Structure 1
Amino acid sequence: MGTNNLRVLEITVISGEDLSINRRQPVKKNAFVTIKTESFKDQMMTTKMDKDGGSYPAWDEKFVMNMPMHARYFTVEVRCKTNNAAGERIIGTARIPASDFLGGYVPENYLHFLSYRLWDTKGERNGIINLSVRVKSSPEIKVNGGAASCSRPWSGAPAGADQKVSDGGMVTGIPVWSA
């Protein structure tokens, strides 16, 4: 897959909230997170274990991952190490839709702070995951052998003379379409 078919994501796994095992017993220790993109299931990133956070772990770990342009989501799983033969247990899973951090009127390199409900293997609510996502922009993309800029800087127009703006402010707005 060529680099033009990929976007680069900077994902920071911040923390978890209200994590429990089978919705009855709070997680005591050893929680960690795995992240994988829709099309690259073999590309998986894993945080360190939070040994002390219990059901409110904090990781604050940053990962840089490739995500195909056609991918619709990436998956976050919160797990914990167990003492039994299985070794680890899935606490909860969240699918993060690409539409939550792509498109719209958001400038490139915008840092999105996101929180998602986690769902256990039985389909029941089981805590929350907090993370941030930034789509990294590249300074240039090669198009048919040439170079084309892919960044669109945000700019505004200076406030009009009839406006009393003492600090040199900018006028901003969002386009609205009507039928």
Structure 2
Amino acid sequence: MTVSAGSRTLEVKVLSAEGLTVDRKPVTKNVFVEIRAETLNCSTTSLGVADGARGSPSWNETLMVEIPPYARSITFDVKCKTSMGTKSVGIARIALSDFLGGIVPESSLQFLSYRLRNWEGRRNGIINFSVRVKSAMAPKYEPSVPVPMPALADRGSCGSQMRVPSGEQHNPRGVVTGIPVWWTNHSANP
């Protein structure tokens, strides 16, 4: 897997799932998980094995997931193979901000559990996994001054943009900030 500029690679260890049902029947075998980060590419586990007396599927499988710079969420799609084909059991769409850029350092291992929902939006089990950032390739931006706007006498609103230095103490992602400005200009002719 190649890492493009601005992307990150997550090490996701899919641990187990619990409380999965299909057509109101418990699902314990032939279950796998697809993980994607707002791309067509996905990482897939093997078929889960039933875990002890509970019968919940478990994987303990580590997947490397590339997160493109535009991605804002990661999706866990739990599926099961049936005699009629593959069926989606439940989906969890998780904001990347839940485990990136918070108080916990990104290289720390975090254990998480999220509620799965089926296509009707009903609760359908829980997915348990761990995650840590393996690599981060932040784009480099040159500091600049605010861009002057053209004459705005005829406009009712405008904005200002400026680049923020990408130093760790200011803004690690070097995001361009837009600031809308609204006013009423009674002297302007339409």
TM norm structure 2:
0.66
Aligned AA for 2:48? D
Question: 1:24-173 to 2 correspondence within 5 Å?
Answer: 24-38=24-38, 40-41=39-40, 43-53=41-51, 56-84=56-84, 87-137=85-135, 143=140
> What root-mean-square deviation, in Å, do the aligned CA atoms of Structure 1 and Structure 2 show?
2.5
How far does residue 101 in structure 1 lie from its aligned partner after superposition? 0.7
Q: What 5-or-longer segments of structure 2 have no aligned partner?
A: 142-166, 170-190
Does the aligned pair in 1 maintain the 2:13–2:61 contact within 8 Å? yes
2:21 is aligned to: 20
Does the aligned pair in 2 maintain the 1:13–1:130 contact within 8 Å? yes
Question: Does the residue aligned with 2:16 lie in a helix, a strand or coil?
Answer: strand
Question: Does the residue aligned with 1:32 lie in a helix, a strand or coil?
Answer: strand
Q: Aligned partners of 2:3 and 2:130: how far apart in 1?
A: 26
How far does residue 104 in structure 1 lie from its aligned partner after superposition? 2.2
State the Cα deviation string for residues 141-179 of structure 1 (Å, max 9, x = none): 6848xxxxx999xxxxxxxxxxxxxxxxxxxxxxxxxxx
Cα 1:127–1:55 change in 2 (3 A) is: farther
Aligned AA for 2:127? I
Moved over 2 A (4+): 1-4, 51-55, 140-144
How far does residue 28 in structure 1 lie from its aligned partner after superposition? 3.7
Cα 1:142–1:100 change in 2 (3 A) is: closer
Q: What 5-or-longer segments of structure 1 have no aligned partner?
A: 145-149, 153-179
Question: Does the residue aligned with 2:5 lie in a helix, a strand or coil?
Answer: helix
Question: Does the residue aligned with 1:122 lie in a helix, a strand or coil?
Answer: coil
Q: Aligned partners of 1:133 and 1:10: how far apart in 2?
A: 6
How far does residue 105 in structure 1 lie from its aligned partner after superposition? 2.4
Cα 1:119–1:113 change in 2 (3 A) is: same
State the structure with more CA Rg.
Answer: 2
Q: Aligned partners of 1:94 and 1:142: how far apart in 2?
A: 29
Cα 1:64–1:2 change in 2 (3 A) is: closer
How far does residue 65 in structure 1 lie from its aligned partner after superposition? 1.5
Does the aligned pair in 2 maintain the 1:47–1:59 contact within 8 Å? yes
Does the aligned pair in 1 maintain the 2:80–2:86 contact within 8 Å? yes
1:166 is aligned to: none
The size of the alignment, in residue pairs, is 141
Q: Aligned partners of 2:120 and 2:139: how far apart in 1?
A: 46
Does 2:21 correspond to 1:6? Answer: no
